[in-house]
Amino acid sequence: AWADQALHLMQTENFVGFSKDQQWRAEFLDHAYLIAESANARVRLRLIACYAGCKTVASLLDLALIRCIPFRLAIPLDSVRLFRESRLAPTERVLSESYYPVGSGSSPLEYGRNGQGFSERYGVRFMDLLRRPHLRRIASMGSVFAWLAWKNGDDLIQDFMNGPSIQVTQYGRGWSDGREANPLFITSDELSPNDLDVLLGHVWDNETERWVWPSEELLWEYCEFYNGEMTDELDRCLLYILNEEVGKGKTQARTRNGWYQYFRRSNR
């Protein structure tokens, strides 16, 4: 039974794959710690690692990325200098300082009265956020976040495979385990709660929550074919939203009941 499960996780013919030019930066794999983001992810990563066809750490991580299994790669604080660009160009410095200001971050996404103009606002905020260096992190966040990384070109995936962004190397604003009981003093890129809300199109309409894309909580609650990784059925559901709603300027922000109804039809 375990062998069957491992074999299933190795089958990726129905999923997006890597281009020929995409590869891991050797120094990143040499220095990074692999952290499973959930108990479910831990089991899946172990199953992949036990399969005979998975011979290297790189092949394990390739499959985790393709199947949208959540994990984190964090480097020791004393290794950050190895990934720091020696000198930022003036335009890059100006842009990065606007991306990582001191103090409060960007304003939350607003639904607006009856959702008027929401589709345009969401598109603008989404694309602005996608340009920020630390957004490479979504490639390994699993579920919808990782799926969005794949659907927005190879650059995000390759950026992630190259190592941490200037959020970590230049500004020291990423995640760290410094507050853990037994810290390893490691760090990685991190998205703020507001970043996550913008990506998912998570907004409040008076006292009602809405989402353009389903959060992992919604997937576990309402999507019968979600099991902690990308599936053919979930891929089809998300592609419909991408092609028929977001891609045509008809972005919808569904309520919790709206997602229940959406997946109820798909669950049949």
Containing H/E element for 188?
strand 186-188
What mean pLDDT, rounded, does the chain reach? 89
Tell me the pLDDT tens digit for each residue of 238-259. 999 999 999 999 999 999 999 9
Closest by alpha carbon to 37, among 157, 142, 190? 142
Tell me the pLDDT tens digit for each residue of 40-57. 999 999 988 887 678 899
Number of domains in the chain: 1
What burial class does residue 127 get, using C-beta atoms within 10 Å of its C-beta: 0-12 exposed, 13-18 middle, 19+ buried?
exposed
Whole-structure pTM value: 0.90
Domain coverage including residue 222: 2-267
Q: Is the model's pLDDT at 267 over the cut of 90?
A: no
Closest by alpha carbon to 198, among 255, 130, 248? 130
